[in-house]
Amino acid sequence: LKFARRARYRILRQSALSCTSETVWMSPSSLALFKMAKGARQFVVCTLLIFFASQASRLEVLELEDKPRADGRRYQFAELPNGLQVLNIQDLSSKKSAISMGVKAGSFDDPKDLPGLAHFCEHMLFLGTRKHPEATGFMDFIARSGGQTNAYTNKELTVYYADFMSDATAEGMERFADFFRAPLFSKEFTEKEVHAIDSEHQKNVQDPSRRVLQVIQMLADPNSRVNHFSTGNYETLFTNPTSAGTDPVDALKIYFKDRYCPKQMRMVSVGPQGLHEQLQLTKKHFADLEQRAECLPRSTFASPPPFPPERLMKWVVMEGSAPQAQLWLYFPMPDTRQDFLSRPLVYINHVLTYAGEGSITSVLKEALGLVSEVKSMSETSSAGTGYYLYFGLTPTGAKHPEILLDVLFSYIARLKEHEVDMDLYDSISKALELKFNWTQPASPGKTVEDYAERMTRLPPEFLISGDTRVDKLRPDKVAQLMGKLEPSNLIGVLVRPSSDVHPFPANAKVQTLPYYNLKYAVTPLSVALPGSAQRWTSWLHMKGPATTAQQLSTRLRSAGFDPSVAAAKPPGPIEGIVQNLSTKHMHVDSPVVHAASAKVYGPQPSLMVLPTKNMDRRLALHSSKVWFRSGWKTTSPMVSLDIFLRPYVAKGAQMSVLDQLCISLHNSLLIKVMTPKLVDMTVTGQSVKLAESKDGLQFSFTAFAPVLPQLIDKVVLEFNEFNANGTARHFNRTVEELRELLQTHSQMPAHYAFQDRKALLSDGHFSAKEQLAALQKLEPRSVLTAVTRLLLSRPLSLDALVMGNMGTEQAEAAVTQLSSGILLPRGVHVASEPQSSDYVRKFDEIVDPARPVEVRSKNPRTGDPNDVAYVSITLGVATVESRAIAFMLSRMLKTKLYTQLRTQEQLGYVVTGGSGLLSNVQYMAAIVQGSVRSADEMELAVESVFLKSFPEQLQNMTEEEFQMQKKTLMEELLQPAASFAEEETHFRSHIEQGDACFGLLDEVLSFANSSKFTRTLLVDSWAQLMSPGKGLRKKVSIKYFANEVPQRLNASKVASILSGRGVAEKHVSQLAKERADTLVLGNADSAARDAILSDASGRGLEGFFPADFLCHASPESAREVPRSFLRKAQARK
């Protein structure tokens, strides 16, 4: 009926529109003209048509009620007369609103001579509109409205999204709508924005997964849009078109007119406003988007087929960018977008990646030692579905990829022999239904981003459930797709380790992948692995598994493997799916409380007293604190349990890098043993985390209350068994995996700058190079005894947090079950009492440098063309006051850095900054990553923001603007938790730091809402941070250079650059003094940290910030208008 109603609406509307050029909703003046122009009979007919069309239009407003039980939001679908489909979502608890637009246009729509044009459009759309021509206008709005914005482009879709405080919704919608009504596409920003895209592409060039996917795409039919370079770079978007006389912006304007049409758009809004109000706002700002005659209909890219038979059965060998070898298997399949009710790939994913005992994953990882990881992924477009299997290869697996494929295809043959297991399929459906019912709402920004994409492929009635549940069992669909897992439908990609000097087979024709400078070789599967395809095909179509097993055994034995451990068994039906869940304790009691934080996260947990049990071979618990709260402010039947066991240590004691590695390896080995045994208990969305580190042990459970005792029992049993009788069976392989991890630099360089900062300033941390050196000294026995020897044999402190759908007795029993269940191996001596000077380390101590520090080193990613400049100024130990002020400064600074250094100067793809915490110490920082300027020049660009443009912005801020920023800050801090996980994380973060400082948010809110929190305080605080009255700034810089590390810029060059940027002479002199006194280092490691400490000691300073966690506002802030927060922090120190 719903589909019929929608069809009737469209027919009536088209009939009505044939009467007049006006829309169905006609103004009185338009209707008067219409009456004059038509004869009486025609007028009556058309009037009736318009009336019925308007009635049908109202029927088209459809409230979606098939949603999770945990989701209290309301959803409404509508279609505007111009064809724009809209989803409005009311979230009464949210203080934020969000908006998104999904456009059914993507990289497949790029002109062939302009690869990346869709991506270019995504970037340029943000840079001004006819009504709001300022290039930074939208970003400025987002900044003052406490929001964020982004966009992405894929094959047939581009999604734009933003969030902001709810009182800015009308302006946000109006500005956002103008993106799609009248973007400027100013040619002034063409080359700058292309540089940003080029920097983004350079990031992708080093990404191992993108490299593989691009190679596979380039093997498609050249006439298919799958065979396409989608990102674009400087060459494709500027050099080539301008050389050919094509202006990229002119091409962009044509693309926009052809593709960005209301019928091809899907708009989503979320906010506390009612559904009617949201729809009226949507009509006001989006109903006039023009449905242009030149707008192209949505194309399908199914023809020509991207992978006809002659382009399959290929074996690709690629040079790698990581130390670990990989094997990717690609199987092209039909377009599965219409299979959202049956979701056949969910079944296939489960049987191919299930990791329980005896599974195909377990056989490949544990029994044969061929792989370290197994994953699957799929991507679907009108060109078809691509299904990928990924295997992280061990050195043994890299030598024997054909054996891996033998085991895999023999397993697939067994699956086909038994056909689709309907009991398993049904249990998957029930497990997903349980998961769907209690799916937690996402944040407003994430919600609109997600639903804009869903609306391009799912009918309105299934927008909420279509990606989660399996509503219809279709074994025929499963069998159809399973039939595509054939050698004749395969492209295999073997990625060699980066250390492999000769990665390609002899006589292979080596090619270079365009735009990636990546070498690879393609050969027929029959040449690369002779006889393999015929063997696997015969197994897949052989009746009776005995012959397949015999042939597999022969193959394994000839390669030196034990055939008896290689028989993988398919998973059985999922057991233990919880039914008839009690929700007695699901909702927290909400007494009348004055604390503002209770409105956000619910009441604070309370201390629970546990009975003491000192039994033989149990832990020596010298102190314990258990915090408990029954129920959630949000809606969930789950329970969360976090237990921290931390040892007492001597003051100043630090664990060596070798001992830390022993604990890390112990953790990895334990997880390898434990994971297969927990899979069946966690497949319904429950989880277990066990983390061991120098600071102690953390056990975390998220489960349904009836299952929690079973999970705890299983974890305790496996933990005790491994500690008492663990073997070194996987020791060598685990060490090698850790070595590969430490050698791999697959993240952006900026990521490693943050790691270097931590190694440089956090006591007890070590660089990747130091850990690699220590790996050589590891011994199995030391690893297997590490946790008992270094942690559990000491006096311990227990901190626990229990929250959720359980009562007090159940919570007490859960904590006792774990804490008293852990046994020490026999013969282990336990120190029952700590020494008087011993303490529990709450957080890492942070180095307090006596002078500026600069690390200058080569970009850790080989071949990456980017320089990186990370610049931080340390404030000191965080206070209530500094948190409030830095929070506001952070949002404003982030926007200023982005608009000046990214939008205007285009220094790089990564430009960001703001405030942060390193342990208990607060800092302000900026980071720029790009290839346009050197790291030294980018540092000076950051300084020009710190010392000139940002303080000018603060000085010029009106009182009205300050109050707006203050209001935004308050609302952002009071944004309610969207899920139980956010509630749990909020309280757990305080437990992790060793102090139940649950009232910190209220303290910050109280200060931010006081008369003492003023614009003058903000200005003075920044001025004091950047120009201290005494001494130099506490500045730490980390710089990466793409090529060799150059000499530092000389003083005159620095002064010239700063003066050219308009930096005042007093600040130029200040920087000159800092540079002259800077401690320059070549690495960020413990040796560099010791050098900083030694330097501080030589100047009579302590070298560390105080290990204080300040939960309450300082007394003086309650008595007087405070000085700058930095001066107060220094005085307190």
SS3 sequence, 497-554? CCCCCCCCCCCCCEEEECCCCEEEEEEEHHHHCCCHHHHHHHHHCCCCHHHHHHHHHH
Poorest-confidence range of 532-536, 607-611, 1045-1049, 1077-1081? 607-611
296 vs 403, higher pLDDT = 403
Distance CA 1113, CA 1024 (A): 20
How confident is the model at residue 611, as a pLDDT? Answer: 66
Distance CA 836, CA 650 (A): 9
Residue 855 · residue 1039 · CB < 8 Å: yes
Q: Is the dihedral of CA 1026, 1032, 1035, 1037 positive or negative?
A: positive
Burial class from Cβ neighbours inside 10 Å (0-12, 13-18, 19+) for residue 452 reads buried
Is residue 1122 pLDDT above 80, yes or no? no
919 vs 27, higher pLDDT = 919
pTM for this prediction: 0.90
Distance CA 17, CA 878 (A): 64
φ/ψ of 218, rounded to 5, equals -70, -10
The reply to whether omega before 591 is within 30° of 0 (cis) is no
Structure tokens at 1015: 């614009």
CB atoms within 10 A of CB 315: 23
For the segment 225-230, the average pLDDT, to the nearest whole number, is: 96
Structure tokens at 1064: 């005042």
Structure tokens at 129: 């509109």
Q: What rounded mean pLDDT belongs to the chain?
A: 90
CA distances from 970 to 596, 924, 1009, 1010 (A): 10, 20, 8, 11
Radius of gyration of the chain (CA): 31
Degrees, nearest 5: CA angle 254-257-261: 155
Reported confidence tier of residue 579, pLDDT bands at 50, 70, 90: confident
φ/ψ of 359, rounded to 5, equals -75, 170
Distance CA 401, CA 505 (A): 14
Residue 519 · residue 505 · CB < 8 Å: no
CA 774 to chain centre: 31
Quick one: residue 914, left, alpha or beta (phi over 0 = left, psi -120 to 50 = alpha)? left
Dmax (CA) for the chain in angstroms is 104
β partners of residue 267: 86, 101
**Letter for the amino acid at 723?**
N
pLDDT tens per residue, range 48-86: 544 544 444 443 799 999 999 999 999 999 999 999 999
Distance CA 174, CA 1001 (A): 34
pLDDT tens per residue, range 1039-1089: 999 999 999 999 999 999 999 999 999 999 999 999 999 999 999 999 999
β partners of residue 648: 840
How confident is the model at residue 19, as a pLDDT? Answer: 43
How confident is the model at residue 545, as a pLDDT? Answer: 61
Reported confidence tier of residue 1010, pLDDT bands at 50, 70, 90: very high
Q: Is the dihedral of CA 624, 625, 631, 632 positive or negative?
A: negative
Distance CA 744, CA 392 (A): 13
How confident is the model at residue 11, as a pLDDT? Answer: 40
3-state helix, strand, coil in the chain (%, to 5): 45, 20, 35
* 822 closest CA partner among 975, 643, 686: 643
How confident is the model at residue 628, as a pLDDT? Answer: 97
pLDDT tens per residue, range 102-158: 999 999 999 999 999 999 999 999 999 999 999 999 999 999 999 999 999 999 999
pLDDT tens per residue, range 284-331: 999 999 888 778 888 899 999 999 999 999 999 999 988 899 999 999
How confident is the model at residue 83, as a pLDDT? Answer: 94
Residue 714 · residue 707 · CB < 8 Å: no
φ/ψ of 942, rounded to 5, equals -65, -45
Distance CA 390, CA 387 (A): 10
**Letter for the amino acid at 1132?**
R
- Going across the sheet that includes 85-90, the strands are 62-64, 74-79, 85-90, 265-271, 96-103, 158-165, 148-153
pLDDT tens per residue, range 798-849: 999 999 999 999 999 999 999 999 998 887 877 778 888 899 988 899 999 9
Quick one: residue 927, left, alpha or beta (phi over 0 = left, psi -120 to 50 = alpha)? beta
Residue 362 · residue 676 · CB < 8 Å: yes
97 vs 566, higher pLDDT = 97
323 vs 17, higher pLDDT = 323
Query: In percent, how much of the chain has pLDDT > 70?
Result: 92
Helices and strands, number each (H, E), in the chain = 43, 27
How confident is the model at residue 616, as a pLDDT? Answer: 52
Residue 360 · residue 404 · CB < 8 Å: no
Place of tokens 């509630």: 983
pLDDT tens per residue, range 923-933: 999 999 999 89
* 1060 closest CA partner among 942, 953, 952, 941: 941
CB atoms within 10 A of CB 308: 12
Residue 691 · residue 787 · CB < 8 Å: no
How confident is the model at residue 449, as a pLDDT? Answer: 98
β partners of residue 384: 381
How confident is the model at residue 61, as a pLDDT? Answer: 92
